[in-house]
Amino acid sequence: MLDLDRLRALHAVSVHGSVGAAADVLHVTTSAVSQQLAKLERETGQKLLERHGRGVRLTDAAELLVSHAERILSLVEQAQADLEAHRGKVVGELSMAAFPTATRGLAPAALAALRAGHPGLRVVLNEKDPVVSVPMVARGDLDLAIVQDWGNRPLSIPDGLLRGGICEDVADVALPADHPLADRDVVELKELSGDPWICDAPGTICHDWLTHTLRTIGGEPHIDHMAQELSSQLALAAAGLGAVVLPRLGRCDVPAGVRLVELRPVPSRSVYAVWREQATRRPAIRAALQAFRAAA
């Protein structure tokens, strides 16, 4: 009889590329993963890993076993979801991620409501960009992710994931107070296309959207400064160092040296949750979605 925890360890090594990375995802030590794999080799009578440079690679026997493990683990998850649904209670553990402005603007109220309404549920939240969190949900590393995409830059959602809408959000532009357009009520984005900008790092949803959008209206953008937190971006704007796209959902205290101006066309983004299809019947998924919608 194959042990599920050992299959899960092998599957994690296959997905994440190393024993160490698998251990991080499974929240165990590297030694524990190695021991699980050694026991699985004894169970199967097959060598599953072989040295490859400084790392390891899966043998043909391991690849065959992984292909079965994916289906087995998927069925186990579906069975667990069906049992939770049959029980009809919101219990267990829900691992989830949210992008930064949702962590600020939605998560506090949503998680507090879940804790008050469902004391048998433990929610573990990590702040992650959708570029990172969506693949984690697809792999089974997370149960749920709160993500976003912009109207002109949709996010690619892998097969096997479902989505549920939470809210629509719009953004303004934050300009240094001495900017020539800072006293306007509305500014056209193309009027700012040649300005220096402050944004998140390359590879994030917001950076990629801003780069794409500015390129469509005025050539190569000048993103001079990059910071993860909106409060840091606004501090740089207050120092006169550039403009910031500021979603209303994530709005924080605006420094005195910054003016908020509406943009045309209005930047709009969709905020929604994604989860694996097999987990649809989990009451915890439905409860979390309801809580985030209420917070919005």
Q: What is the pLDDT of residues 84-107, one digit of tens each?
A: 665 667 888 999 999 999 999 999
Per-range mean pLDDT, top range of 81-95, 184-198, 208-222 = 184-198
Flag whether pLDDT at 53 surpasses 70.
no
Of 60 and 145, the one with more pLDDT: 145
pLDDT of amino acid 183: 94
Name the residue ranges covered by the structural domains of the chain: 4-85, 90-164+271-295, 168-269
4-85 placed in CATH 3.40.50.970: no
168-269 placed in CATH 3.40.50.2300: no
Flag whether pLDDT at 234 surpasses 90.
yes
Flag whether pLDDT at 70 surpasses 80.
no
Flag whether pLDDT at 78 surpasses 90.
no
Rounded mean pLDDT, 269-282: 91
Rounded mean pLDDT, 263-277: 94
pLDDT of amino acid 237: 96
Domains 90-164+271-295 and 168-269 agree in fold: yes
Rounded mean pLDDT, 41-58: 77
3-state secondary structure the chain: CCCHHHHHHHHHHHHHCCHHHHHHHHCCCHHHHHHHHHHHHHHHCCCCEEEECCEEEECHHHHHHHHHHHHHHHHHHHHHHHHHHHHCCCCEEEEEEECHHHHHHCHHHHHHHHHHHCCCEEEEEEECCHHHHHHHHHHCCCCEEEEEEECCECCCCCCCEEEEEEEEEEEEEEEECCCCCCCCCEEEHHHHCCCEEEECCCCCHHHHHHHHHHHHHHCCCEEEEECCCHHHHHHHHHCCCCEEEEEHHHCCCCCCCEEEEEEECCCEEEEEEEEEHHHCCCHHHHHHHHHHHHHC
pLDDT of amino acid 1: 66
Rounded mean pLDDT, 110-123: 95
Q: Which CATH number fits domain 90-164+271-295: 1.10.3470.10, 3.20.20.70, 3.40.50.1010, 3.40.190.10?
A: 3.40.190.10
Rounded mean pLDDT, 68-75: 74
CA dihedral over 176, 182, 185, 190, signed as positive or negative = negative
Least confident range from 53-62, 102-111, 186-195, 276-285: namely 53-62
